[in-house]
Structures are given as C-alpha cells and as structure tokens.
Copies of this chain bind each other. A is one copy, B any other.
Amino acid sequence: MNVETHQPDVRSRILVEATRLFAERGYDGTSIQSVSEAVGIRRPSLLYHFNSKAELRDAVLANMLAYWKDTLPTILTAATSGGDRLDKAMSAMAKFFVDDPNRARLLAREMLDRPDDMRALFREHLRPWTGLLTGYIRMGQEAGSVRSDLDPEAWTLQMITAAIGAVAVGPVGGHMLADAPGIPRQLRELVRTAKASLFNPRPQPAAAAEES
C-alpha cells in the first residue's frame, strides 16, 4: 500500500534512475548493475522489465522525447503573435533543460554517441515545431522585423545547440564567471544573443566600421 505509493511503479523508477545515471556518466559509463542498485532491486529484476541495456536506453530516450513532444507544442500554440511565439518557444526550451539539466546532458551524450539514430529521432520528434518556428522567422523576414541575412534553420538549430550546451556543460564554464550562479547568467546572455541576432535594428548599424 504505502509501499506502492512510495514506489509508484518499478518500471518508471528504473527509467528515472537510468535517465539520471546515463546523463551523469554516459551510457558506456553506466552499468545496469548500478541502475538496479539505485532503484533498490537486483539486476535480473531490471532485465525482466527491460530485456537489454540497449532497450533500457531506448526507453529512456523515448520517454524524454515524448515529454518534449507533448509539452512544447501546447506552449507554442498557446502563444498568439509571432514574436510572442518565438519568445515562448525559447523560454520553454530553456525551462525544459533548466528544470532538469540531465535532460541536456543526456541529449548531448546521445548526439555524440549515436548521431545517426539521434538524427532520426530529431526528425520525428523535433521537426514539427522547429518547422513552425522557422516558418514564423521567414514571415518576420518578409515583414522586415527579422534580419534578412539570417538562416532560419541554422539559427534555430544553433539556438537549440547553444541551449543544450549552456546547460549541459554549465558547471565547466561556471567558475569562469566568478560571482553569479553561472547557468542563469549564461542563459540570460543566450536569450539576449538570440534576440539581438534575430530582430532587425536598422539597415546601417553604427558599428559597421568594425566589419570589412
């Protein structure tokens, strides 16, 4: 009873611990033994729920991408104006990773370990709303509010990469920024960078002397 309430579902508890450990130590660096210990069961019991280590990884990944797939479109469609949508999408993405930095770490690791599989997963889960985003960017370009020399797909991709990177390796650069808690400061700058590089200021910037 209260055992069940305290441990709602073994399968999902395995997923939670596996997600954490895969994110922290990587797939190769994590033994299913250590996962089972974190859950509080023996290894064969874990293998009863997930037939192999690879299957566990796939489940962890699917579980995380499903969250992303479900939550973000809701936020996006809730926003009204184009600029609002971009804002909301950026903060939703940031929140997704900041809420649990292990998400960023896990994604980063998987992208490094299995780029091909991740490309396929991204096409399936991420493409829909990045498509929305690039669409709005193009509209903004035609309307003149968004810089015309901007590459919509590359820009979006870069912001995702930058967000993941900022959160995933936050601790590394953290001490380079002496005082502040690091990640917030890093993310604030990311948002600033995103806006500054996106929206059109004026055709002829004052600092043009700096460029060729």
Interface residues of A (CB under 8 A from B): 25-29, 82-83, 86, 105, 108-109, 111-113, 115-116, 118-119, 122-123, 127, 130, 144-147, 149-151, 153-155, 157-158, 160-162, 164-166, 168-169, 171-177, 185-186, 188-190, 192-197, 199-202, 205-207, 209-211
State the copy count for this chain: 2
CA distance A40 to B3 in the complex (A): 56
- Output the nearest chain B residue to A207 by Cβ-Cβ distance: B199
CA distance A194 to B210 in the complex (A): 13
SS of A interface (majority): helix
- Nearest-CB distance from A209 to chain B (Å)? 8
B residues within 8 A CB of A210? 82-83, 86, 145, 195, 199
Set B108, B176, B185, B200: member contacting A112, Cβ < 8 A: B108
